[in-house]
Amino acid sequence: MDLALWIEFIIKGFILIFAVLTGFAYLTLYERRALARIQTRIGPNRAGPQGFFQPVADAVKLIFKEELTPAKADKVLFVLAPIMTVVPAMILAAVIPLGTQFTLPFLNRPVTLYVSDINVGVLYLTAIASIAVYGIVLAGWSSNNKYAMLGGLRSSAQMISYELSLGLCFVIAILLGNSMSLLDIVEAQKSVWFVVIQPVGALIFMVTTLAEVNRAPFDMPEAEQELAAGYHSEYSGMKFALFFMAEYEKMIVISMIAATLFFGGFREFWFLQGTVFSVDHFWWLGPIYLLLKVVVLLFLMIWVRATWPRIRYDRLMAFGWKVLLPLSLALVFITALGILLANQFGAIYIWTIPVLSILAGLIAVLLVNMSLRRKVAHA
């Protein structure tokens, strides 16, 4: 481990953290403008040209806000909880490849556009998603407030329940990409994106990650109008800003992961391969493509928030356990079956996967419909 490698890691880490923080700041602006346009109003446009300095204004306001600590709250855990929520959100981005490599012109040294590409990259994502539960549980508990604790427990129970379906969606991507390393998964999508082969899997992934970040329509435990804002009701000032930051950063990182696992990552559309728009031609197109995909996925998340009402908590848990978990198990089975058939009989059989999975999705929707009708008939 020579010194140059250490310096490379440190610089890459700083650049990544800086990028994620800037992304968070401008995501707040993007979300407020997008929500506003969907609701036929304009959104913040005063603090600079088109509201460009609005995040700066928000940050200044939150820094100068008075920070209250509840009287009997556990001081150490009260301060530790926001930190334990933010740090996993940031370090999730460490294994996501932003591009292929390029050579530094002066030092003649190849630099890879990711912090590290471990051969268990997807398992790392699962592990950090499991760690992210701690901050919320501790925030709820250390506030010494019954409602905050209830909100914290509900929120963490929701996250743990949806982690199962999330893990199974990761398994789908691993099966299709034949490796746990994210760079290999992106390279395996050179010819066709995985969203085309397994559309229902990508859809379930997006839904599950929305539930993981406690984001609408799954944000019952933490919305401002419910349970007095849930686990972060006692937080103010910079600590609240850290919770806010954690949620938005998780949104960004999850969009990056979804883009990498299902939408081809930093690679271009497969029909542009070999042309001048390809990443193999200009290495700096890689991060740009990833940024475009992330912006589109974030718009989808914001659109969902603006459009759909919240799901009630018990329905949310029933949805996660009774609908998404069996469906993602069925999808894993279908994907494995399709890959086996393709290996044995020829590559055309890989297209049984989208056919069968859309069938499975329709059966799931039908069954949910039937059970809801039975409930209405009884009640």
Tell whether residue 10 is a contact of other proteins (CB under 8 A). Answer: no
Task: Find the part of the chain contacting other proteins (CB under 8 A) among 128-136, 205-213, 285-293, 310-318.
Answer: 128-136
- Cα-flanking dihedrals φ and ψ of residue 365, to 5°? -60, -40
C-alpha span between 324 and 165 (Å, rounded) = 6
- Distances in Å between the Cα of 135 and the Cα atoms of 82, 125, 226 are 6, 17, 20
- Pick the closer one to other proteins by CB: 23 or 140: 140
Please report, as a single letter, which amino acid is at residue 84.
M
Q: How far is the CB of 181 from other proteins (least distance, A)?
A: 9
| DSSP class of 323 | I
Tell whether residue 325 is a contact of other proteins (CB under 8 A). Answer: no
Tell whether residue 153 is a contact of other proteins (CB under 8 A). Answer: yes
Task: Find the part of the chain contacting other proteins (CB under 8 A) among 123-131, 189-197, 284-292, 320-328.
Answer: 123-131
Task: Find the part of the chain contacting other proteins (CB under 8 A) among 149-157, 199-207, 218-226, 360-368.
Answer: 149-157
Tell whether residue 359 is a contact of other proteins (CB under 8 A). Answer: no
Tell whether residue 127 is a contact of other proteins (CB under 8 A). Answer: yes
Q: Total residues contacting other proteins (rule CB under 8 A)?
A: 24
3-class state of residue 342 by DSSP: helix
Tell whether residue 134 is a contact of other proteins (CB under 8 A). Answer: yes
How many contiguous H segments (helices) and E segments (strands) does the chain have? 14, 2
Q: How far is the CB of 295 from other proteins (least distance, A)?
A: 30
C-alpha span between 84 and 14 (Å, rounded) = 19
Going by C-beta distance under 8 Å and a sequence separation of 6 or more, which residues neighbour residue 5?
A: none
Kindly compute the dihedral angle of the four CA atoms of residues 46, 47, 52, 57, in this order, to the nearest 10 degrees.
-140
The gap from C-alpha 118 to its chain's centroid, in whole angstroms, comes to 20
Q: How far is the CB of 143 from other proteins (least distance, A)?
A: 12
C-alpha span between 133 and 149 (Å, rounded) = 14
Please report, as a single letter, which amino acid is at residue 239.
K
Q: Which residue has the tokens 């419910």?
A: 226
348, two tokens: 């055309």
Binding mask 46-85 toward other proteins (x if CB under 8 A, else -) reads: ----------------------------x-xx--------
Tell whether residue 254 is a contact of other proteins (CB under 8 A). Answer: no
Using a 10 angstrom Cβ sphere, with 0-12 exposed, 13-18 middle and 19 or more buried, the burial of residue 105 is: exposed
Residue of 141, 193, 244, 319 interacting with other proteins (CB under 8 A): 141
Q: For the beta carbon of residue 281, count every other beta carbon within 10 angstroms.
A: 11
Tell whether residue 120 is a contact of other proteins (CB under 8 A). Answer: yes
Tell whether residue 130 is a contact of other proteins (CB under 8 A). Answer: yes
C-alpha span between 139 and 11 (Å, rounded) = 32
Residue of 94, 113, 137, 294 interacting with other proteins (CB under 8 A): 137
Tell whether residue 1 is a contact of other proteins (CB under 8 A). Answer: yes
Task: Find the part of the chain contacting other proteins (CB under 8 A) among 148-156, 253-261, 298-306, 314-322.
Answer: 148-156
- Distances in Å between the Cα of 207 and the Cα atoms of 20, 300, 371 are 22, 11, 21
Tell whether residue 164 is a contact of other proteins (CB under 8 A). Answer: no
Tell whether residue 148 is a contact of other proteins (CB under 8 A). Answer: no
Residue of 28, 126, 144, 236 interacting with other proteins (CB under 8 A): 126
- Pick the closer one to other proteins by CB: 123 or 325: 123
Contact positions toward other proteins, by CB under 8 A? 1, 74, 76-77, 118-120, 123-124, 126-128, 130-131, 133-134, 137-138, 141, 149, 153, 156, 160, 180
